C-alpha cells in the first residue's frame, strides 16, 4: 500500500487521504506475440512492448497504486528495464491518469492531439502531459526497435481515443470501445452516432486478436458481435420510445428490457447489470439528438 495522504490525487480536491487510490491490485501478464505483452488486474487491461533497451507502456491503469502494480508486472517480465515511453489511448484518468506513478522516468509521453489538449487543460495530479503529439488518422512509430501504428478512426469515446495496431503480432488494441459483453452502464462519453461506423473501419485492418481496455481479448467474430449489439440496442431504444416507455423512467425501462430482451440477449456478459442503462442512454440519445459536435458530425479520423 502506498501512502494515501501523499499519493497523486487526480482531480480530487478534498483534504482527506485517498485510501481508494492507495491499495495495490494484482496485475497478471502474458505474452501476446513477439515483443508484445498484455497485462490485466481482472477488470482493466493494457499492453506493453519490449524495446531493444527499455519498455514502451500503453496507458497507466486507474489509480496510483494500480499504476505501481502495473509497473511491478512489467518489471517481472523485463527486470531492470526503464519505461522510457508511455502511449496514451485517450484522455480519461482511469486509463491514462497516473504516468507519474507508472514511469516517473519516462522521457516521452505520446498522445493524439485531441487527447493532449484535454489533458493539458485538465492539469490532473499524476497525469503527465504529452511530450509528443500527433494528428490526423494514422501515424507509424518505431521506438527502441519496436514498431506499431496508432489509428484514430474518428469519434468513438472520450477525446482522441486511438487504436494501436501491432501488425507483426496481428493484434489490435483499443480502450473503452469494443469489450466482451454489453456496454458499461450508460455509455459515459460515447459518441453514439458515429461509434459503430467508425469502429467498423478497424475491421479493414489485418489482425486476428483484439485486446480491449477491459476484461479479456476477443477474436474478429467477437469484435463484430459486439458492434452488432450496439446496433441492436439502438433499434430497441426506438421500439421502446414508440411504445411510450418514458425515457426518464429507469425502472420502467429496465423492466421493459428484461421482459423483451431476456430471451435474445440474457446470456450476454453483464446483461443483468447494465441492459436497462444501455437502452436508456440510447433512448435519450434519440430524443435529444446526441450531445456535442462529435455526435452530430463524427469529427476526427477517417478510413484506415
Once rounded to an integer, what is the mean pLDDT over residues 245-251?
98
Instruction: Report the C-alpha gap between 89 and 58 in whole angstroms.
Output: 7
What confidence tens digit (pLDDT) does each residue in 169-209 have? 999 999 999 999 999 999 999 999 999 999 999 999 999 99
- Count the residues in the chain: 304
Locate the domains of the chain by residue range.
19-176, 232-297
What confidence tens digit (pLDDT) does each residue in 161-170 have? 999 999 999 9
Choose among 140, 86, 76: nearest CA to 115. Answer: 86
Once rounded to an integer, what is the mean pLDDT over residues 294-304?
54
Give the right CATH number for 19-176 from 3.90.1150.10, 3.30.420.40, 3.30.930.10, 3.60.15.10. 3.60.15.10
pLDDT at residue 265 is higher than 50: yes
pLDDT value at position 6?
Answer: 83
Helix (H, G, I), strand (E, B) or coil at 110: strand
Once rounded to an integer, what is the mean pLDDT over residues 227-245?
97
Instruction: Determine how many CB atoms are found less than 10 A away from the CB of residue 263.
Output: 8
Residue 293 CA to its chain's centroid (Å): 21
Instruction: Report the C-alpha gap between 135 and 113 in whole angstroms.
Output: 6
Give the pLDDT band of residue 303 (cuts 50, 70, 90). very low
What confidence tens digit (pLDDT) does each residue in 277-292 have? 999 999 999 999 887 6
Q: What is the DSSP letter of 35?
A: T
pLDDT value at position 104?
Answer: 97
Once rounded to an integer, what is the mean pLDDT over residues 265-276?
96
Instruction: Report the C-alpha gap between 96 and 178 in whole angstroms.
Output: 18
Write down the residue that cell numbers 489511448 correspond to. Answer: 89
Instruction: Report the C-alpha gap between 126 and 38 in whole angstroms.
Output: 23
What is the reported pTM?
0.95
What confidence tens digit (pLDDT) does each residue in 68-90 have? 999 999 999 999 999 999 999 99
Which residues pair with residue 172 across a beta bridge?
A: 165, 210
pLDDT at residue 294 is higher than 70: no
The answer to whether the CB of 301 falls within 8 A of the CB of 158 is: no
Question: Strands 132-134 and 146-151, how do they pair?
Answer: unpaired
Instruction: Report the C-alpha gap between 162 and 158 in whole angstroms.
Output: 10
Once rounded to an integer, what is the mean pLDDT over residues 227-241?
97
The answer to whether the CB of 76 falls within 8 A of the CB of 37 is: no
- H helices of the chain, in order, are 19-22, 64-77, 93-96, 99-102, 113-122, 192-200, 220-242, 250-265, 271-288, 292-297
Instruction: Report the C-alpha gap between 108 and 56 in whole angstroms.
Output: 9
Once rounded to an integer, what is the mean pLDDT over residues 246-273?
96
The answer to whether the CB of 85 falls within 8 A of the CB of 60 is: no
What confidence tens digit (pLDDT) does each residue in 111-160 have? 999 999 999 999 999 999 999 999 999 999 999 999 999 999 999 999 99
The answer to whether the CB of 56 falls within 8 A of the CB of 143 is: yes
Residue 223 CA to its chain's centroid (Å): 14
What confidence tens digit (pLDDT) does each residue in 7-22 have? 999 999 888 889 999 9
Instruction: Determine how many CB atoms are found less than 10 A away from the CB of residue 295.
Output: 19
302 vs 229, more confident = 229
pLDDT at residue 110 is higher than 70: yes
pLDDT value at position 2?
Answer: 87
Instruction: Report the C-alpha gap between 64 and 98 in whole angstroms.
Output: 6
144: left (phi over 0), alpha (psi -120 to 50) or beta: left
Amino acid at each position: 500500500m502506498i501512502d494515501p495522504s501523499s499519493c497523486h490525487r487526480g482531480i480530487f480536491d478534498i483534504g482527506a487521504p485517498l485510501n481508494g487510490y492507495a491499495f495495490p491490485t494484482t496485475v497478471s501478464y502474458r505474452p501476446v506475440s513477439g515483443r508484445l505483452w498484455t497485462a490485466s488486474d481482472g477488470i482493466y487491461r493494457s499492453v506493453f512492448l519490449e524495446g531493444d533497451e527499455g519498455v514502451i507502456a500503453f496507458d497507466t491503469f486507474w489509480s496510483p497504486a494500480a499504476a505501481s502494480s502495473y509497473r511491478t508486472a512489467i518489471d517481472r517480465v523485463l527486470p531492470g528495464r526503464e519505461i522510457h515511453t508511455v502511449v496514451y489511448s485517450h484522455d480519461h484518468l482511469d486509463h491514462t491518469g497516473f504516468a507519474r506513478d507508472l514511469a516517473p522516468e519516462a522521457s516521452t509521453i505520446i498522445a493524439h492531439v485531441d487527447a493532449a489538449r484535454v489533458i493539458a487543460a485538465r492539469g490532473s495530479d499524476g497525469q503527465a502531459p504529452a511530450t509528443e503529439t500527433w494528428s490526423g488518422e494514422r501515424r507509424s512509430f518505431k521506438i527502441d526497435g519496436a514498431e506499431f501504428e496508432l489509428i484514430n478512426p474518428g469519434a468513438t469515446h472520450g477525446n482522441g481515443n486511438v487504436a494501436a495496431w501491432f501488425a507483426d503480432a496481428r493484434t489490435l488494441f483499443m480502450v473503452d470501445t469494443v469489450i466482451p459483453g454489453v456496454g458499461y452502464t450508460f455509455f459515459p462519453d460515447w459518441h453514439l452516432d458515429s461509434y459503430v461506423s467508425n469502429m467498423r473501419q478497424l475491421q479493414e485492418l489485418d489482425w486476428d486478436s483484439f485486446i480491449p481496455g477491459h476484461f479479456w481479448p476477443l477474436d474478429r467474430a467477437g469484435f463484430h458481435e459486439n458492434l452488432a449489439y450496439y446496433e441492436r440496442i439502438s433499434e430497441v431504444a426506438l421500439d421502446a420510445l414508440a411504445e411510450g416507455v418514458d425515457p426518464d423512467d429507469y425502472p420502467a425501462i429496465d423492466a421493459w428490457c428484461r421482459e423483451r430482451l431476456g430471451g435474445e440477449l440474457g446470456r450476454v456478459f453483464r446483461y443483468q447489470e447494465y441492459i436497462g442503462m444501455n437502452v436508456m442512454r440510447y433512448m435519450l440519445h434519440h430524443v435529444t439528438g446526441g450531445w456535442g459536435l462529435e455526435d452530430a458530425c463524427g469529427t476526427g479520423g477517417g478510413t484506415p
